[in-house]
Amino acid sequence: MIAQQSLHRFLDELAGSAPTPGGGSAAALMGAMGAALVSMVCNLTIGRKGYEGEEAEMRQTLEEAEALRQRLTAMIEADVQAFDGLMAAYKLPRASEQEKTSRTHAVQQALKQATDVPLGCAEACAEVIELARRVAPIGNRNVISDAGVASLAAYAGLRSAALNVAINAPSIQDADFVRSRRERLDQLLSRCADASEQAYQTVLGRLG
């Protein structure tokens, strides 16, 4: 399990000449860091004097952030598995016509999987951005920069995941599949560009 590796080893493997872990795992880790930082802001707001009015919302947000952190942490690994599945499909034999047909089918299935994993990462990152935007105006001011970092990390995770969708899409033959994923991604990207900027500006305003 990658998440059991040390940061040092993870970074070494990211930098190394194996194609995995790569940008897809980095995207998931950025999202997971975003979720973790939302949790931290909640944890340092709950029970603090002056923030009693935010308690219920902070508890709810913490629960959601922790669920997202779990999902995104699992995606660090899922991205590697999807890539390995694709490589395995490409290596299937193609001597006979029947082999060619079943290899093409396997490659297409693996490409779809390698698209839906980063799309799921993008969805989860978008949810983290919403949580960061929620806590930015009401979280403990002493740690509010962390809500801004949460939003930045999750937005970078979302845009990174989008690149990982884009790299596979041109090889997928199912035009409806590609169109539906691209549409979903475009929705997420345009909604979150504004949401993450809003969270960032809210935080900047509270720091000044």
Judged by the rule CB under 8 A, the positions of this chain that interact with a copy of itself are 2-8, 10-12, 14-17, 19, 22-23, 26-27, 29-30, 32-33, 35-37, 39-40, 43-44, 65-66, 69, 73, 76, 142-146, 148-150, 152-153, 155-156, 159-160, 163-164, 166-167, 170, 200, 203-204, 207-208
State how far the alpha carbon of 55 is from the alpha carbons of 46, 64, 90, 139, in Å.
Answer: 5, 14, 52, 10
Closer Cβ to a copy of itself, 126 or 200, answer by number: 200
Q: Cα–Cα distance between 147 and 166 in angstroms, integer?
A: 29
Q: Cα–Cα distance between 199 and 193 in angstroms, integer?
A: 10
Q: Cα–Cα distance between 175 and 88 in angstroms, integer?
A: 23
C-alpha count within 13 angstroms, C-beta hemisphere, residue 135: 40
Closer Cβ to a copy of itself, 33 or 188, answer by number: 33
Closer Cβ to a copy of itself, 70 or 180, answer by number: 70
Please say whether the dihedral angle defined by the alpha carbons of residues 200, 201, 202 and 205, taken in this order, is positive or negative: positive
Closer Cβ to a copy of itself, 12 or 52, answer by number: 12
